[in-house]
Amino acid sequence: MNAQHLNSIIEAAIRAPSGDNIQPWTLKTSSYPPFTIDVYNLPDKDQSVYNYQQNASYIAHGALIENIIISAKYFGYSTDIKLFPDKADSNFVAKIKLSEASEEKSLLYDAIFKRCTNRYPFKAYNIPTENIKALSEIGNDIDEIKIHITSDHSFVNELAKILGFNDQLVFENKLLHEFVFKQIRWSNAHAKATLDGMHIDTLGLNFLEKKLFPLIQNWSVVRLLNYAGLSRIIGLKGRYNCRSASALGMITVKTTDKTSLIRCGQAVQRIWLEATRQELAFQPIVGLPLLMFQLNQKHTPNVSINHLEKIRAAERNLINLFNIGSQELLVFGFRIGKARPIATRTYRKPANPL
Ligand SMILES: Cc1cc2nc3c(=O)[nH]c(=O)nc-3n(C[C@H](O)[C@H](O)[C@H](O)COP(=O)(O)O)c2cc1C
């Protein structure tokens, strides 16, 4: 196999999104027959409340695998993927065999390098119905998942009221706050030094918010400011951002097993790349759905009783509004629309071989 091709496929793979740009992966490759990429999860990278049993990390791995499939095709290779090939090792996520095949120059390959998270408020824009339909159907061949997207403004408004709580919660729970702020990179030099985390300029903050943000990295300050309504203001901003979206979506899975989460990640990446190709902005809204998912795994996340009740109520409301079936479990939310381009991009660490 052409070593250059293998490098290019790996380069595309690691452009995948991951929770707070944690990049919980490492890849082991062989450029001698049989040509393989072994994908491993790094469980210690994300020990947050969100990542119970590596749920968030497995979704990120699904996105990485989808990038491998698309870029392998682009360079003329087919992929044979075995998920969790070693039953005794849940961190051995996939063994991917590459075989020479005809090239498929998909436009989604270019989108891999243009894809990003856009946290700005979106602009008024109606996505054509056929494009919404195409996005909803993009995962039809993935049995384990279902995609629900609505562009109906009254539904979007109602959903926004629920999803605003996603951001509010970060400022009402010490552990979540600590985790998120640990991943913020405060300058370009800081981001370049770590090659992970979220650059402050990717957070969609306006001039004033950017100046105030360093103050609220301190939990004691946040607690104090919450008496004056800080977390509620942040919730309102989240709600406003969701309301500004042309469409809101949810991905559900049929079971809580890790393979379903990988398949969900593949669907996420397909939608995100297709949205990018259509020059639409995309932001995941996943903290809240991940906590709902944990409850469905019969695990109580480390949040207050009051928050648990709110998470359960939010789940019931999302199920009603999206008309989610009784066999489906919410796991990944997102908003899509038109927005100004983000000011800077997140970095990636090289995919260090084991
Ligand atoms: C499982 C998962 C959960 C995420 N949750 C959120 C979220 O709740 N809010 C958000 O703004 N971004 C979320 N993101 C986006 C990541 O923060 C983003 O992908 C990462 O910082 C890299 O930046 P990029 O997408 O611009 O490449 C999530 C991504 C993944 C894969």
The half-sphere exposure of 209 on its side-chain side, counting CA atoms within 13 A, is: 12
Model confidence band, residue 32 (pLDDT cutoffs 50, 70, 90): confident
Q: Residue 30 has what pLDDT? A: 87
pLDDT at 352: 63
Tokens matching residue 306: 């009051």
Fold of 3-114: NADH Oxidase (3.40.109)
State the CB neighbour count (10 A cutoff) for residue 48. Answer: 21
Which of 273-279's residues contact partners 24+ apart within 8 Å by CB, and which partners?
273/66, 273/70, 273/108, 273/111, 273/112, 273/115, 274/108, 274/111, 274/134, 274/135, 274/138, 275/135, 275/336, 276/111, 276/114, 276/115, 276/116, 277/107, 277/108, 277/110, 277/111, 278/127, 278/131, 279/338
pLDDT tens per residue, range 210-247: 999 999 999 999 999 999 999 999 999 999 999 999 99
- Distance from Cα 264 to the centre of ligand 1, integer Å: 14
Query: Do the two domains 3-114 and 129-337 of this chain adopt the same fold?
Result: yes
What CATH class does 129-337 carry? alpha beta
Which residue lies with its CA nearest to atom 26 of ligand 1? 116
- pLDDT surpasses 80 at 117: yes
State the pLDDT confidence band at 106, using cuts at 50, 70 and 90: confident
User: What pLDDT score was predicted for residue 354?
Assistant: 45
Per residue in 262-275, pLDDT tens? 999 999 999 999 99
Cross-strand pairs, 36: 30, 97
Give the per-residue pLDDT at 34.
86
Q: Which of 251, 212, 240, 265 is nearest to 330 (CA)?
A: 251
The pLDDT > 70 percentage for the chain reads 99
CA-proximal residue: ligand 1, atom 4 (nearest): 19
Rounded CA separation 136/212 (Å): 38
The DSSP symbol for 52 reads G
Q: Say if ligand 1 is within 6 A of residue 60 CB.
A: yes
Confidence band (pLDDT; 50, 70, 90) for 80?
very high
Average pLDDT of the residues in 281-295:
97
Quick check: 159 pLDDT over 50? yes
**Is ligand 1 within 6 A of the CB of residue 18?**
yes
**Domain spans of the chain, in order of start:** 3-114, 129-337
Nearest 10 degrees: CA dihedral of 274, 195, 23, 252? -40
Q: Are 94 and 84 in contact (CB under 8 A)?
A: yes
**Encoding tokens for residue 285?**
């809204």
Ligand 1 neighbour 235 (Cβ under 6 A): no
Counted residue by residue, the chain has a size of 354
Mean pLDDT of the 277-282 span: 96
- 93, 83 Cβ separation under 8 angstroms: yes
Q: Model confidence over 170-214: pLDDT tens digits?
A: 999 999 999 999 999 999 999 999 999 999 999 999 999 999 999
Phi, psi of 253 (to 5 degrees): -125, 160
